[in-house]
Amino acid sequence: MPESWAEPLWSTAAQWSLLPPVLLALLLTTAIGLEREAGAKSAGLRTHVLVGVGAAVFMVISKYGFADLLATEHVALDPSRIAAQIVSGIGFIGAGLIFVRQDVVRGLTTAATIWLAAAVGTACGAGLAPLAVLATAAHFLVTRGLQPVARVVRRHRRRPPVLRIRYDDGYGVLRGVLERCTAAGFSVAGVAVHRGSVAADGVRVAALTLRLDGRGDLPGLAAALSETDGVRSAETRVDPTEDPDDPDRADD
């Protein structure tokens, strides 16, 4: 069998020496994926390993896969182009992991770890093993080591003020309520409308929750609103979407 028959399948004689970077990417991204799997995240072991190994394979192909063409006239290779395409292409997977429920964003950290897994695989494929190991260690430091610090910060940060109001619907009361909120130094950052009811006097009563921004006198505002014509009750409470003990509330 002529030797030229195998040339299309064997672009370089050093192919076996190109496997260690891919195996290292397999090992490191497995560690990252196991951490995500233990946290029951939307992207777990298999996703992170496939992303990391795929990035490593693409990078190895970019560096060594066209060695047989370098002797061809007018042929120039730019291995950095593959790395750039990996960075942009992994964004499609990351975007699919992020979703918004009401005003709570979830999946940011998982999408970021997918991006990191691609970076680790790219570093392995580029022959930058110490960088890949350091990036993997940084992943565990951030996702596990910084969680206690994040909990402490959440417990001490100022929570958004929330005002719950019940008022007579259909009498233009809401417009006056919003004007009073603005006059008290607040702006409305979010509105949640609840199911209405009919009072004993036959008037339809609406209920809504206002999430406010500002540093005005919230108890004073609630007291003033409760005395407003058409307002049946006004009370303040903690924002229900803010849970200081949930480490992945907004970025799991």
Same domain, 49 and 125: yes
Q: What is the mean pLDDT of the chain?
A: 77
| Single-letter code of the amino acid located at 237 | R
| Judgement on whether residues 136 and 229 belong to the same structural domain of the protein | no
Question: What does the pLDDT look like over 159-190, one tens digit per residue?
Answer: 677 888 888 887 778 788 888 888 888 877 77
> Rounded distance, CA 8 to CA 95, Å?
37
Check residue 228 and report its DSSP letter: S
Structural domain span for residue 73? 3-145
Last residue of a domain, one of 145, 169, 196: 145
Q: Which of 47, 89, 82 is nearest to 62 (CA)?
A: 82
Which has the higher per-residue pLDDT, 85 or 104?
Answer: 85
107 and 188 both lie in a single domain: no
Taking alpha carbons only, the member of 78, 81, 113, 77 closest to residue 94 is 113
Question: Residue 133: is its pLDDT beyond 90?
Answer: yes
**pLDDT at residue 44 in the model:** 79
Do residues 193 and 206 make contact, with C-beta atoms less than 8 angstroms apart? Answer: yes
In this prediction, residues 199-204 reach a mean pLDDT of 76
Q: Same domain for 129 and 184? A: no
pLDDT of 149 reads 80
Question: Which percentage of the chain shows pLDDT scores above 90?
Answer: 13
Whether 169 is in a domain gets the answer yes
Do 181 and 204 share a domain, yes or no?
Answer: yes
Residue 170 lies in a domain: yes
pLDDT of residue 68: 66
Backbone angles phi, psi at 73, to 5 degrees: -65, 140
Question: Does 136 score more than 90 pLDDT?
Answer: yes
Q: Does 247 map to a domain?
A: no
Give, rounded to a whole angstrom, the gap between the first and last alpha carbons of the chain: 57
Which of 110, 145, 180 terminates a domain? The answer is 145
CA 195 to chain centre: 31
126: pLDDT strictly greater than 50: yes
pLDDT, residue 219, reads: 83
Q: Is residue 246, in this structure, part of any structural domain at all? A: no
Higher-confidence residue of 33 and 169: namely: 33
- Residue at 6: amino acid letter: A
The answer on 93 and 21 residing in a single domain is yes
Q: Decide if pLDDT at 229 tops 70.
A: yes
Average pLDDT of the segment spanning 124-149:
88
Domain count, the chain: 2
The residue among 102, 122, 145 that closes a domain is 145
With 50 as the cut, is the pLDDT of residue 248 above it?
Answer: no
Same domain, 140 and 192: no
Please check whether residue 207 lies inside any domain of the structure. Answer: yes
- Same domain, yes or no, for 53 and 80? yes
* In-domain check, residue 249: no
DSSP state, residue 10? -
DSSP string, 163-221: EEEEEETTSSHHHHHHHHHHHTTEEEEEEEEEEEEE-TTS-EEEEEEEEEEE-S-HHHH
The answer on 188 and 101 residing in a single domain is: no
Q: Does residue 124 share a domain with residue 56?
A: yes
| Judgement on whether residues 191 and 138 belong to the same structural domain of the protein | no
- The CATH code of the domain that includes 181 is 3.30.70.260
Q: Are residues 164 and 141 in the same domain?
A: no
60-96: per-residue pLDDT in tens?
A: 888 877 766 666 777 677 777 777 778 777 877 766 6
Contact yes or no for 107/252 (Cβ under 8 A)? yes
Q: Provide mean pLDDT across the span 192-207.
A: 77
At position 209, the amino acid (one-letter code) is T
Please state, as a whole number, how many other Cβ atoms lie within 10 Å of the Cβ of residue 134: 13
65-74, 86-95, 147-156, 219-228: which has the minimum mean pLDDT?
Answer: 65-74
